[in-house]
């Protein structure tokens, strides 16, 4: 999971770096040749894109550094943490299965929730049998953690 995320970030870094160093300078030069820069929409758009790409690259480099320092061996093997799959029973008896992932991987349709989300934060550190109460924007939700599979157990 960590390796996949690092690879995805590094692929995006390469793509954005190529755009920043090769494509955007050409676009800016071409737009500059059109004349008055104050009323040049192409130039403004290229400069805005350049700023966005620089900011995104900075954020990606920071996340890669953070992920590289993450030691998965230090994650607990008896409590919910990053990479865990949790089987829950909601207060109304409805079964739910979530996987705790990084914010970049969150996809509720797949059952992947971020460890930074309200439910994810409430689940981190919980064990099988624990009751979990989660204040959400739509009201309080109650769960029982009935089964836990940590990143070590997969």
SS3 80: coil
Domain annotation for the chain: domains and CATH numbers:
2-70 (1.10.287.180), 74-149 (3.10.50.30)
Round the CA-based radius of gyration of the chain to a whole number and report it. 22
Residues 6+ apart with CB under 8 A from 100: 80, 81, 82, 83, 84, 85, 86, 113, 114, 115, 120, 123, 124
Report the alpha-carbon distance of residue 15 to residue 109 in Å, rounded: 27
Whole-model pTM over 0.75 = no
Tell me what pLDDT residue 21 has: 94
Six-digit token pair at 6?
Answer: 């690092």
Burial class (CB in 10 A: 0-12, 13-18, 19+), 87: middle
Q: Write out the two tokens for 16.
A: 């954005």
DSSP, res 74: G
DSSP per position, 116-143: TSHHHHHHTT--TT-EEEEEETTEEEEE
Task: List phi, psi (to 5°) of 101.
Answer: -130, 175
pLDDT exceeds cutoff 80 at 126:
yes
Q: Taking residues 98-121, what's their average pLDDT?
A: 89
Tell me the average pLDDT across 87-91: 90
- Position 1 scores a pLDDT of 62
Q: Tell me the two tokens of residue 103.
A: 């914010």
């Amino acid at each position: 999971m960590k390796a996949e995320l690092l690879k995805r970030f590094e692929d995006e870094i390469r793509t954005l770096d190529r755009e920043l160093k090769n494509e955007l300078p050409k676009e800016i030069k071409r737009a500059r040749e059109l004349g008055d820069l104050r009323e040049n929409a192409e130039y403004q758009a290229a400069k805005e894109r350049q700023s966005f790409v620089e900011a995104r690259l900075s954020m990606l480099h920071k996340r890669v550094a953070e992920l590289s320092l993450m030691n998965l061996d230090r994650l607990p093997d008896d409590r919910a943490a990053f990479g865990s799959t949790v089987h829950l029973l909601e207060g109304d008896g409805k079964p739910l299965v979530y996987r705790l992932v990084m914010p970049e991987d969150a996809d509720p349709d797949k059952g992947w929730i971020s460890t930074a989300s309200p439910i994810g934060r409430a689940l981190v550190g919980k064990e099988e049998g624990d009751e979990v109460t989660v204040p959400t924007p739509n009201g309080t939700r109650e769960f029982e953690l009935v089964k836990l599979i940590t990143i070590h157990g997969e």
